[in-house]
């Protein structure tokens, strides 16, 4: 599994009327040099991204990912992405994905800073690649450690410059949190506010089951709205369950009847242990949830 595909995207303005974007998408060698050292994505993590799961060549929930890309762009004062162009790039990349699971990543960077001329406008690219086998996480589950995110519940509203609702390229803290979780013998982390509320995992959303109700923290600016979480909630409602968005206190985690971390590539991973304490796992429901997440979704 060493295939990999990459496209450089020459961003067009959001209201460009064209419908054919072929000449704005350039296939490149994913292992060859493609970006200059002046890239602001690499110098300052100054850009946004999305990761889209692909199953048997079908990119999942493209519309929700593109809408979130546009939302992130607004929060970061980046030029609005042309969603038709990004959809064309996703479709071009998906056409290269073989049977089985893959991932497509979209990156929109603030651009290249040149000494003489200042900023030259955004740069963008799309990659497609195989994904690790997540069967064990989906069936046997994962251990999770809770970690303080340092921010209180009001920070996102008070301080929009913290970009808490944007999926930026500045993920060093998310990666450090995963390393800390591993040091604690866990597989993943759940961030808590400094005043004790549940936020999200570094690269996933949290869903709790309480009896027949499924709950996720309110996406009121402090966390990303999870595309997979939205999809799972739709499915749960179709199955007759009720779902809700709540301000979830940390103590509610230990009392949950079941818990999952859901994300676009690993899909639904049941949480078997929280800070060393065993949690109940609903294997049957988890299997059905992942079967749904592996079916084609738009």
Residues that bind a second copy (CB under 8 A): 1-4, 6, 28, 30-39, 41-47, 49, 76-77, 105, 107, 109-110, 114-116, 125, 127, 129-130, 147-152, 155-156, 158-164, 166, 168-177, 179-180, 194
For 37, 55, 158, 162, 203, the CA distances from 225, given in Å and listed in that order, are: 32, 22, 19, 16, 12
In whole angstroms, how close is the CB of 212 to a second copy at the nearest point? 35
In whole angstroms, how close is the CB of 89 to a second copy at the nearest point? 13
Q: How close are the terminal C-alpha atoms of the chain, in Å?
A: 26
Q: Which is nearer to a second copy, 136 or 291 (CB)?
A: 136
In whole angstroms, how close is the CB of 256 to a second copy at the nearest point? 24
In angstroms, the CA 275 to CA 46 distance is: 33
Cβ atoms of 252 and 208 within 8 Å: the answer is yes
Q: Which is nearer to a second copy, 104 or 289 (CB)?
A: 104
In angstroms, the CA 228 to CA 103 distance is: 14
Q: Which is nearer to a second copy, 42 or 273 (CB)?
A: 42
Give the position of tokens 């960077």.
Answer: 109
Cβ atoms of 256 and 208 within 8 Å: the answer is yes
In angstroms, the CA 131 to CA 80 distance is: 29
Q: Which is nearer to a second copy, 180 or 218 (CB)?
A: 180
In whole angstroms, how close is the CB of 41 to a second copy at the nearest point? 4
Q: Which is nearer to a second copy, 162 or 287 (CB)?
A: 162
CA torsion angle 42 168 271 149 (round to 10): 100
Q: Which is nearer to a second copy, 43 or 295 (CB)?
A: 43
In whole angstroms, how close is the CB of 54 to a second copy at the nearest point? 13
In whole angstroms, how close is the CB of 257 to a second copy at the nearest point? 29
In whole angstroms, how close is the CB of 130 to a second copy at the nearest point? 5
Give the position of tokens 């060859």.
Answer: 32
In whole angstroms, how close is the CB of 91 to a second copy at the nearest point? 19
Q: Which is nearer to a second copy, 3 or 296 (CB)?
A: 3
In angstroms, the CA 298 to CA 295 distance is: 10
In angstroms, the CA 196 to CA 296 distance is: 37
Give 110's DSSP letter.
-
216 Cβ contact partners less than 8 Å away, ≥ 6 residues apart? 205, 206, 207, 208, 226, 229, 233, 243, 244, 245, 246, 248
Q: Which is nearer to a second copy, 222 or 270 (CB)?
A: 222
| Six-digit token string for 16 | 């460009």
């Amino acid at each position: 599994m060493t295939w990999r595909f990459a496209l450089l995207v020459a961003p067009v303005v959001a209201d460009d009327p064209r419908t054919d974007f072929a000449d704005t998408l350039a296939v490149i060698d994913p292992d060859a040099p493609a970006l200059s050292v002046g890239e602001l994505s690499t110098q300052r993590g100054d850009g946004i991204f999305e990761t889209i799961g692909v199953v048997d060549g079908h990119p999942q929930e493209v519309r929700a990912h593109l809408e979130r890309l546009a939302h992130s762009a607004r929060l970061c004062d980046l030029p609005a992405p042309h969603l038709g162009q990004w959809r064309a790039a996703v479709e071009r990349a998906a056409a290269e994905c073989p049977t089985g699971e893959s991932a497509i990543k979209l990156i929109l960077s603030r651009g290249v800073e040149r000494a003489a001329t200042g900023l030259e406008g955004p740069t963008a690219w799309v990659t497609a690649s195989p994904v690790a086998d997540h069967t064990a996480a989906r069936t046997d589950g994962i251990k999770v450690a809770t970690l303080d995110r340092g921010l209180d519940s009001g920070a996102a509203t008070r301080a929009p410059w913290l970009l808490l609702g944007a999926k930026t390229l500045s993920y060093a803290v998310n990666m450090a949190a995963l390393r800390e979780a591993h040091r604690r013998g866990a597989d993943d982390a759940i961030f808590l506010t400094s005043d004790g509320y549940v936020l999200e995992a570094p690269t996933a959303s949290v869903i709790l089951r309480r009896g027949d109700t499924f709950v996720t923290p309110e996406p009121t600016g402090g966390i990303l709205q999870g595309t997979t979480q939205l999809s799972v909630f739709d499915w749960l409602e179709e199955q007759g369950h009720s779902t809700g968005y709540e301000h979830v206190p940390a103590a509610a985690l230990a009392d949950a009847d079941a818990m999952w971390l859901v994300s676009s590539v690993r899909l639904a991973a049941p949480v078997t242990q929280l800070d060393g304490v065993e949690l109940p796992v609903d294997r049957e429901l988890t299997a059905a949830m992942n079967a749904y997440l592996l079916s084609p979704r738009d």
